[in-house]
Structure 1
């Protein structure tokens, strides 16, 4: 499919359906909060470093940490209440919200059974790599990594090969087991990325992978799509209207603007460019 970038005479808040998701921009992070806010028993707190959500058993935390090395989100599960970490997953600040929310939603659903309900049989048993292969992603095998790349070459999922001490991995002193990222310039371009340590439950990684490789378009205002990505995305206009559930979640979210919420989408005539200032290409 040939990418069709939006015309230059659209208003910045024009609502667009964008594909692929990995080039669509950060999006509305209210979708990341929804599962955490809507699940009974999860504690919520605003801290000096960001936002913190704690599971009912205090054996898992999900945090928005804007001042951390890469900003964005971090999820951690512990052996017991606030005990030794078992695994962590991080999502940099520009990770599309659909990918992060797929992971956090699956975590909320699977944690009460300690992931047991997702480990035996059913579609969630298949590997992340298998899911990508089924969707036509190509495999590149190197000495250190097994890469799977999207058909357009702008997104990757990488499996680290070889052994790494679990403690070093959890301390961030070496690469995580899995990494996914998207960018249009692999040498100099800015990219978003997400990392998952080796003990991360496989079905959680798979949920993120399915969101990464989804062929469904996502909604963004024109201003929410990174300018460097415009020549590489396929877009179509959407009508006016705001998702009431998402708006309610955003309204009750502390520091929502710092978390990367997108502006309200303005009306756009379907298929008709809206006159206004041109964007620099």
Structure 2
């Protein structure tokens, strides 16, 4: 954002952004940390990792790398000093609401586990069926694409997001699942990557957040200009314009009678008498057919008295 733009209040207007997966970051990451806000926080100002939020037993760690491409690094281990069983990373373009899908599931799993339980759900082996990890996406209408042998790819209905599953890789630290959104560029492509032993339900929880159709709040300047044509921005507090109701046949008849009476009142006396009589005749006909209206009566009534002042003069 340029120095001149910094003084443009329009750029700081809050808007609703959809689809959410193209909204980008919000500058704070608060949504990603909110589900684990009650866990201990460790501020590491001097290192590349500026903040670590860890479970009380240190088995789950959520690292925030404020200046790096890989902004989030989340791991789980059998104990505080063991090598992580799995790792998930989210880059700097990923909306924190997507990260919250994973941290919410982790907070739930940890709350249900016994202390130092090696069978805790956040340490479970992944399902042998890759479909379990991305079921929220297929349920949301994402479709399968042609892919290289040994891989599986799905894309969103707008083709602006997708998932790649690479079954060719081996090893516990192999990166096998990647969720992405946005055009392939450093400032526009959101990426979430999971290693091979990540429990399937945790990937599914992240995918579910990604498939959520609810918009998210951003300030206008937080939307990359390359993304503006791909998202819908709705100013908060705006209301849709009221669409005028098309006139009914009765409305048309009322208007015609009122206009005829008005023209008659402005015409010379000799012509006025004839036009008023015609207008009154139509009004009387409408009354007999049930189409008499207060509008016609209110306009025609003063003309019943020749001494009444005429409107429009």
TM-score (norm 2): 0.63
Distance in 1 (CA, whole Å) between partners of 2:32 and 2:171 is 31
> Does residue 45 of structure 1 match 2:5?
no
- Give the C-alpha shift of residue 227 in structure 1: 1.1
8 Å Cα contact 2:169/2:176 also seen in 1: no
Query: Which residue of structure 1 aligns with residue 233 of structure 2?
Result: 235
Query: Which residue of structure 1 aligns with residue 30 of structure 2?
Result: 30
Match of 1:131 among 129, 136, 139: 136
Moved >6 Å (runs of 4+): none
Q: Which runs of 5+ in 1 are unaligned?
A: 1-8, 120-125, 170-175, 240-268, 273-281
Instruction: Please state which structure has a larger fraction of its residues in helix.
Output: 2
Distance in 1 (CA, whole Å) between partners of 2:215 and 2:208 is 13
Query: Which residue of structure 2 aligns with residue 4 of structure 1?
Result: none
Distance in 1 (CA, whole Å) between partners of 2:230 and 2:188 is 15
Query: Which residue of structure 2 aligns with residue 262 of structure 1?
Result: none
Q: Which runs of 5+ in 2 are unaligned?
A: 1-7, 114-118, 125-130, 242-313
Q: How many residues align?
A: 218
Distance in 2 (CA, whole Å) between partners of 1:177 and 1:189 is 23
Q: Deviations over 1:194-250 (max 9, x none)?
A: 1011211211111110111111111111112111111111222212xxxxxxxxxxx
Query: Which residue of structure 2 aligns with residue 104 of structure 1?
Result: 103
Query: Which residue of structure 2 aligns with residue 72 of structure 1?
Result: 71
- Give the C-alpha shift of residue 59 in structure 1: 1.2
Q: Which has the higher contact order (CA 8 A, sep 6+)?
A: 1
> Does residue 148 of structure 1 match 2:148?
no
8 Å Cα contact 1:60/1:82 also seen in 2: no
TM-score (norm 1): 0.70
- After superposition, the CA RMSD in angstroms is 2.6
Query: Which residue of structure 2 aligns with residue 276 of structure 1?
Result: none
Higher-Rg structure is: 2
8 Å Cα contact 1:115/1:201 also seen in 2: no
SS of the equivalent of 1:72 reads: strand
In structure 2, relative to structure 1, the CA distance for the partners of 1:230 and 1:188 (3 Å cut) is same
